[in-house]
Structure 1
């Protein structure tokens, strides 16, 4: 069961984070403040999907990792503490702060400083989750282990 649940939950988590990141970037670049406010208000509601997906990924990955060995598993395992810490210590608090600031119309220096931090931290988690997905596909034989192919 974990062999099915793990990749599905991982894909859901990655899609959610990509959606948050792209929605933020596109609204900041091309939309007015009311759209930015809508996006910043909606993102914390997305945690209702993201957080359980990440918990399922972690639990199923831990279960799978008990029986799987090798350098790809070790790399995936090593990335997870950074992904979790970044999410819990940076991304979630930043999203809640930005939602509050946007809802009160406070698009000030603090808002944009935290927004920049959130975009960098989000890009880092997207990268790490994508690397984990790539390594998972390699473990399953669905992607070549040769980086030149």
Structure 2
């Protein structure tokens, strides 16, 4: 079950954050204030997908690691607190403040300063989650490769 939940939840989390980020950038560059308001007020609803996906990816990753703390597994485990802290301490408050300000039509210096912070924090989490995915794929290839090298064709891969 972890072999399904972990990559699916991680992919959903990465795609959700990337969607928020790209939507924000495109609306700011090409859209009207109405489009920005629509995106900024929709993103908090996306947290209902993102937060459970991140929790499922993190929890299943910890369970799947079985206490291992070295190599790629260790790197993934060390990255998770930064991803979670960035999300909970920066991104969620930014999302909620920007949605409130957009709903009120307050596109002021504070809005754009928080928007910049949100874009930097979002890009950071996209990079970190991308590294998580890269390392997860490497671990999967390594595991499959190691089974092929030993001649075992077990379905337990």
TM-score by length of 1: 0.93
Give unpaired runs (5+ residues) of structure 1.
143-149
Which of the two has higher C-alpha Rg? Answer: 2
Kindly tell me the number of residue pairs found equivalent between the two proteins.
142
| Mapped partners of 1:4, 1:70: distance in 2 | 23
- Give the equivalent residue in structure 1 for 2:93: 93
The 4+ residue runs of structure 1 with deviation greater than 6 A are none
User: How far is the alpha carbon of 1:60 from its aligned partner?
Assistant: 0.3
| Mapped partners of 1:76, 1:28: distance in 2 | 33
Superposed counterparts of 1:73-84, under 5 Å = 73-84=73-84
RMSD: 1.1
- Give the equivalent residue in structure 2 for 1:147: none
- Give the equivalent residue in structure 2 for 1:121: 121
TM-score by length of 2: 0.88
- Give the equivalent residue in structure 2 for 1:71: 71
SS in 1 for 2:141: coil
User: How far is the alpha carbon of 1:70 from its aligned partner?
Assistant: 3.6
> Which 10-residue stretch deviates more, 33-42 or 51-60?
51-60
Give unpaired runs (5+ residues) of structure 2.
143-157
